[in-house]
Amino acid sequence: MLNLALSVLCSSLIFVIFKLFGTYKIQSLYAIVVNYFVACICGILFYEGKINVSELVGSGWFYGTFALGILFITIFNIMAKSSQLNGVAVTSVATKMSLAIPVLFALLVYKESLSIWQGLGILLALAAVYFASIKKKGLVIAPKTLLLPFLVFIGSGVIDTTIKYIQDEFLDESMYPIFSATVFGAAGTTGVLFLLFNSKKTPIKRNLKNVLGGICLGIPNYFSIYFLLQALNNPKFNSASIFTINNVAIVMFTTFIGILLFKEKLQPKNWLGIGLAVISILLVALF
């Protein structure tokens, strides 16, 4: 459980850093590209073996990992667009509701079993994500922009499912750092290509704040994936339980951070979501 708690802590720290981007006027896209390379360097530094490029390319997980890195930054851009058109609440719910995809994958493909109480906990987790995330009157999605949150939902779910599949089929614990480094390196390379492609419309400007922001973001970003992989390796919990607890705990913890650090106001429905989150975690973890 310690690895899972550390993954939740690192993921929640990412939320705080994103909030501070606005305060210090850091350009998110540039900082995120830097962040991926910083996370890649972290993986290389923590890898204890010798790095042989030809062996990496020939490994069974390399191309899947490279595709995963491209998906990382693609989904980020879709999330950014969805946040602008549909609002942060809609996008947040779509992201966290995606836990249903790896949970279903674990149940159908890996034949993992859940008790009745755990199944109830997962249903409560989905409700908790909704109620903890919505602001004002609820979620309003224009029909013409419905595709964006749907892609966020599918993309986020595919990322979690792919991480679990590669971890289970191809990796041992010693490979986690280099696996993470490859994912983040692919995401960073894709980001650079994206910036170069758009440089005619938006010239690339060197900015020290963007670099520093990317460094601050990259370190917890790396460890959020690393500790999640370690948590998935725990034989005491199945992956359906891990993904449920991870996603719901992040929603709950970031909500409290918003209250304490950024003086965000919560409505009764948000408190209901937090209560459901606590109950769902207890049901999934204890039963």
Distance of CA 99 to the CA centre of its chain: 10
Cβ distance 245 to 116 under 8 Å? Answer: no
CA neighbours closer than 13 Å in the CB half-sphere of residue 76: 20
Average pLDDT of span 161-177: 90
SS3 annotation, 205-238? CCCHHHHHHHHHHHHHHHHHHHHHHHHHCCCCCC
Give the per-residue pLDDT at 185: 94
**pLDDT value of residue 79:** 81
pLDDT in tens, 213-261: 999 999 999 999 999 999 998 888 889 899 999 989 988 888 888 888 8
Give the containing element (helix H, strand E) for 88.
helix 88-97
Above 70 in pLDDT, residue 142? no
For the chain, the average pLDDT equals 87
Domain boundaries, the chain: 2-286
- In the structure encoding, which two tokens stand for residue 65, read together? 């990992």
Give the lowest-confidence range in 139-143, 146-150, 156-160, 250-254: 139-143
For residue 168, CA distances in Å to 13, 97, 281 come to: 27, 23, 24
pLDDT in tens, 77-110: 888 787 767 766 677 778 888 989 999 999 988 8
**DSSP state, residue 136:** T
